Structure formats: C-alpha cells, structure tokens
C-alpha cells in the first residue's frame, strides 16, 4: 500500500502557473531594483500571495534570481535557434543572431536591464559569471567559429565581436529612455528599430568580413 497521495494534475498545473507568475513578477522587480534592494515580499505582493508561498518554490532570493535569469537566457537562445539556418552563409547567420537578440530585448525590456546589472557584477570565480549566461555566449561562439573555419568571417576573438556587436543592442534596448528629455526615444517604434538595425548590420558587415 502506498501512502503517497495521487498527484492531482489540476493542482500540479496550478503550481506551475504560480511558479511562472512568481518568475514574471520577479523579472520586473529585479530589472527595476538592484539585487540588494529587491525583496521577496515585493514579489509576493505583486503576485498576490504570501512570502511563505514563494519560499515553497524558491528557497531564497538568489535562487529566485537565478531562475529568472535562467528562464530569460533559455528563451533568448531558443528564439535564436528557431531562426538560425545552419546552411546559410556565415555572415547571414550572425545577422540573424543579432536581429533575434535585438528583437528579443526590445520586446522584453527587462532582459537588457538584467544583463546590464549582471555585467557590472564581480564574481568569486571565473566560471560563476557564466553559470547562467554561458548558453548565449556559446551560441555566439559556435556561429562565429564555424564561419571562421569556413574562411567566411574575420579571424579575431569571438568575444571582441560580441562586445562590438552585442553591446550596442543591449544599450539600444535598455537606455533609450535614459538619454535626457530631448534625446529619449522609444526603441520599440518601428522607425527607430529599423534605422538602428540597419546601422548595426552595417557595422557587422564591416567588422565580420575578412
């Protein structure tokens, strides 16, 4: 005889739903406040549950933060892989990665701001810093290296190229409302997004072609 209660599928999926709602609220709060100022209480209040209910899903703030980041990078990499065509010319593949990241970050402005906060941090050891973001770096690196091996892309450090071409997309998506009254613009407006994208492509072609 088994004492365990049968799993109630409705409850299981309700649990998953609550977990997602906690992650949604936490993503906003971690993007808006620095890590030290963000409180589990605020997340609970935004979801409309008790703090103790969050702890049932995530045992502490760091664990919740890591889950937010993990979900974010997984979504970004998944969107990239859906659009990537491994048979396309290497330059085209890199432009696809950049376009996907740009679109992703403009549509989800919490993403570039969380990445900016992460980028300012220090970490106790070299592997800790990429524990979560590493999937995105690996995607970038493998597309660049494949193009380099075929002789289609310039033979320089993939990480230089990431700084040169990835950082602009982060800054465009995150900071276009921080430039001051007469300079601010909405990066999601098609006119701005298209104009910026074409400049980013211009830069990418110039730096990537051997």
Residues that bind a second copy (CB under 8 A): 31-37, 113-114, 116-123, 126-127, 129-130, 134, 137, 141, 156-157, 159-168, 170-172, 174-181, 183-185, 195-196, 199-200, 202-203, 205-207
User: Which long-range contacts link 194-197 to residues 24+ away (Cβ below 8 Å)?
Assistant: 196/102, 196/172, 197/99, 197/102
> Shortest gap between Cβ of 14 and a second copy (angstroms)?
33
> Shortest gap between Cβ of 174 and a second copy (angstroms)?
6
Which CB atom, from 82 or from 182, has the smaller least distance to a second copy?
182
Which CB atom, from 118 or from 152, has the smaller least distance to a second copy?
118
> Shortest gap between Cβ of 9 and a second copy (angstroms)?
40
Which CB atom, from 85 or from 182, has the smaller least distance to a second copy?
182
């Amino acid at each position: 005889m088994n004492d365990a209660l049968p799993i109630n599928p409705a409850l299981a999926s309700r649990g998953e739903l609550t977990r997602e709602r906690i992650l949604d609220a936490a993503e906003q709060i971690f993007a808006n406040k620095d890590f030290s100022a963000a409180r589990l209480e605020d997340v609970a209040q935004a979801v409309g549950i008790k703090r103790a209910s969050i702890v049932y899903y995530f045992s502490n703030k760091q664990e919740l933060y890591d889950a937010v980041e993990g979900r974010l990078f997984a979504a970004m990499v998944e969107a990239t892989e859906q659009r990537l065509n491994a048979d396309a010319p290497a330059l085209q593949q890199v432009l696809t990665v950049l376009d996907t990241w740009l679109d992703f970050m403009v549509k989800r402005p919490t993403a570039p701001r969380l990445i900016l906060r992460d980028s300012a941090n220090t970490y106790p050891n070299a592997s800790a810093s990429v524990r979560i973001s590493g999937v995105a770096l690996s995607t970038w690196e493998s597309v660049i290296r494949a193009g380099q091996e075929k002789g289609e892309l310039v033979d320089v450090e993939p990480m230089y190229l990431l700084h040169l071409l990835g950082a602009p997309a982060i800054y465009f998506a995150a900071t276009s409302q921080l430039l001051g009254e007469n300079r601010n613009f909405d990066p999601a407006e098609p006119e701005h997004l298209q104009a910026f994208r074409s400049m980013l492509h211009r830069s990418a072609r110039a730096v990537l072609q051997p």
